[in-house]
Chain A
Amino acid sequence: MSQHRRIDPRRPFVITALGRKRYALGQACLSGADAGAAATAPSDAGKPLRLQQPASSCILVAAHTDRGLLPLDAQQAIAAAAILAGPQCAVLLAAFGPLAEDAAPYGADQVIALADATAFQPDAEADVLAELRRQYRPTHIIMADNDIPDGDLGRRLAARQDLSIATHVVELTPDTATAYQKQKSVYARRPLSEVILLDAECVDARLPFAGRGETLDWAPSGNPASRYQDRGVTAVPASHLSLEEADFIVSAGNGVHDLDGFHALAGALGAAVGASRVAVDDGRFTREQQVGATGKTVASSVYIALGISGAVQHLQGIKDCRHVIAVNTDASAPMIKRADLSVIDDAQAIMRALLAEVGTARRQAPESGS
């Protein structure tokens, strides 16, 4: 038999964002969609432990949990600590709020869960971190720089303990931290500070290793009176939120004629209402609801585009949306290429079906307290 390897004419490919097939040579036979999924979601199972030796130092990561889970920016902070930590340096996670998941896959070696920390108690939390700092002497304290709650806590700690701090760090190396200054017109670089607050794009949270994930039994020693009274958290109904803030948006384009059904669906989903320029110009929606380059730029987690073809200006408006679901009768529309999930069907029919499904699901689900 010839030594030449035959190239499989139907070799596997992935579909890129522009809708083109990209052939990757040397890949074992996988069908198109699977290959893409495989490339972007490496398996979690069986990752080796990073910390193989006993730890003589640590990096402290502090984060607030969200409904029992560690949000993405917390995962990034833990990953940063794990990447910077040397072979004898442990990653110590102080989690404020109930923690229902294992922190080991994120790279945390030791976990202190402070499940009672749910209200706004920054003084108490800063005290906890100060005490942890005294006790464990971390080389650095790494947190996510979201404005509230982690960024706030990190700044309080640095101010109170007179620690060096680097905020909104966009580039981190083992020696330096870099942030923008002067309205993002220059970089400013400094040696690693004691407190490091990370910007959203700074760290890739995917790790080829795992942490040990050992839970430490630790409780704060004091219980100081708080200067703050937390009067509670309320959720603003989606209809009152500005589109830029909304996390779940349902958007109507030229293909949506059943306005009552559309608004009913938005209400059932608890979603904010957006529209393409065509629908606004036709008078079906107000200018305030227009999404796109001349309308609003939105950055929601979910964007459901019903009957929107996806003109360039509209796609510009949704470029920061995390999950885009498109419903359109035209499979060659630009929106289909942009969407994470596309459904080729009539928008009216899908809206009715979805409304029914959401209604059933809500009735069957247990009352979720948020």
Chain B
Amino acid sequence: MTQNASHPRIVVPVSTGLHPVSGAPRWSRNDARALGLARSLVSSFADIHVVHAAAARTEALDDYLALGVRHIDVLDVAPGADIVPALADYARGADLIICGMRAEGQEDSGMVPYLLAQRLDMPLLPGALELGMEDGGAGIVQFLPKGRRRRIETRSPCVITAHPMAPLALKYAHANKRQGRLDTVRAGVEPGAASPWTTVPIQARPVRLAAREKRSGHARMLSATTTASRAGTVMDQGSTQEKAVAVLTYLRKHGLIDY
């Protein structure tokens, strides 16, 4: 996959993340990976259009400047409004739109890249660890679980989502903040539909959906008290070879090896 000789128009939407413990606004680690993928295709951040469609906050945007971004367009979207139309209008005409897979402090549904791709009628390559462009097309190395990877290609323009485990080559440097700037762009405000979601403070862990069943009180007690139990087997008798065979048998029994 060779880099595009001409200059692709790359748009990277970024969002504000929240720290999982303190709730402080900060740069989204996933969006930073998207920025990193974009940066791997061009010679400088000046060639990337970074956009922030704000339902509200802009505090974390300084963090993106520290990561090296020179310029962020802030779409002034009213709180509660749908950001997808504004983003779609901004990104129309882009060759590549590179997003994070999931926000880290908003609705966090992971739907925005798909809605964008649908609205702009672009193909979407999800879960990218590496990204490359050829004339008229883009290709990614996609993350798959259990240590596998898949290569997929499609024609540009297209939407790419960056996997959270993509490498992060960007470094946070305060001096960069002085060289970056934010520009607010008035966005056409499309009033959003009333959200079907109701926010509820967290007071207990989620309750697992389980089939109601008629088990004896004893069986329910046992499963309630010993579900965490591994009930591990201890082998201290037998020869070393027998023990090794027992290990292999265990692995086979649980489908962990296929030989």
Contacts and interface: CB of A to CB of B under 8 A. Distances in A.
Interface in B142-161: 142-155
B149 A236 contact: yes
A83 B114 CA distance: 29
Contacts of A168: 108-110
Interface in B227-259: 227-236, 240-241, 243-248, 250-251, 254-259
A187 interface: yes
Given A189-B198, A241-B147, A231 B153 contact: yes
Interface in B110-132: 110-111, 114-115, 117-118, 123-127
Interface string A224-236: 0001111111111
Interface stretch (B38-46, B74-82, B85-93, B215-223): B215-223
Nearest to B105: A183
A233 B106 contact: no
A207 interface: yes
A181 B20 CA distance: 11
Contacts of B17: 183
A83 B211 contact: yes
Interface stretch (B63-71, B177-185, B201-209): B201-209
Contacts of A35: 222
Q: Please classify the interface of chain A as helix (H, G, I), strand (E, B), loop, or mixed, using the class held by over half of its residues.
A: mixed
Interface in A276-328: 301-302, 304, 323-325
B20 A184 contact: yes
B19 to A, nearest CB: 7
Contact of A353 (B153, B214, B234, B240): B240
Contact of A228 (B123, B143, B211): B123
A170 B206 contact: yes
Contacts of A216: none
A179 to B, nearest CB: 7
A143 to B, nearest CB: 13
Contact of B154 (A229, A234, A246, A357): A229
A26 interface: yes
A156 interface: yes
B122 to A, nearest CB: 9
A158 B114 contact: yes
B226 A22 contact: yes
Contacts of A304: 247
Contacts of B200: 178, 186-189
Interface string A196-240: 000001111011110000000000000000011111111110100
A33 B153 CA distance: 52
Contacts of A16: 225-226, 228-229
Contacts of B123: 123, 227-228
A264 interface: no
Nearest to A191: B196
B197 A188 contact: yes
B209 A172 contact: yes
Contact of B236 (A84, A180, A331, A353): A331
Contacts of B218: 24-27
B232 A167 contact: no
Given A302-B251, A345-B240, A182 B232 contact: no
B49 interface: no
Contacts of A352: 240
B5 interface: no
B228 A344 contact: no
B18 interface: yes
B93 to A, nearest CB: 19
A368 interface: yes
Given A204-B208, A353-B240, A228 B125 contact: yes
Interface string A155-188: 1101110001101101111000011111111111
A338 B166 CA distance: 32
Nearest to B215: A208
Contacts of A252: none
A190 B126 contact: no
A334 B247 CA distance: 19
Interface string A107-123: 00000000000001011
B165 interface: yes
Given A80-B209, A146-B145, A188-B198, A344 B108 contact: no
A200 B229 CA distance: 20
Closest 9 A/B residue pairs (Cβ): A36-B231, A365-B259, A344-B236, A353-B244, A231-B151, A208-B213, A171-B206, A204-B210, A183-B18
14 contacts: A14-B222, A17-B229, A33-B233, A152-B126, A168-B108, A187-B206, A188-B199, A207-B211, A235-B149, A325-B250, A338-B230, A340-B233, A343-B235, A368-B258
Interface of B: 17-20, 23, 101, 104-111, 114-115, 117-118, 123-127, 139, 142-155, 163, 165, 196-202, 206-211, 213-215, 218-219, 221-223, 225-236, 240-241, 243-248, 250-251, 254-259
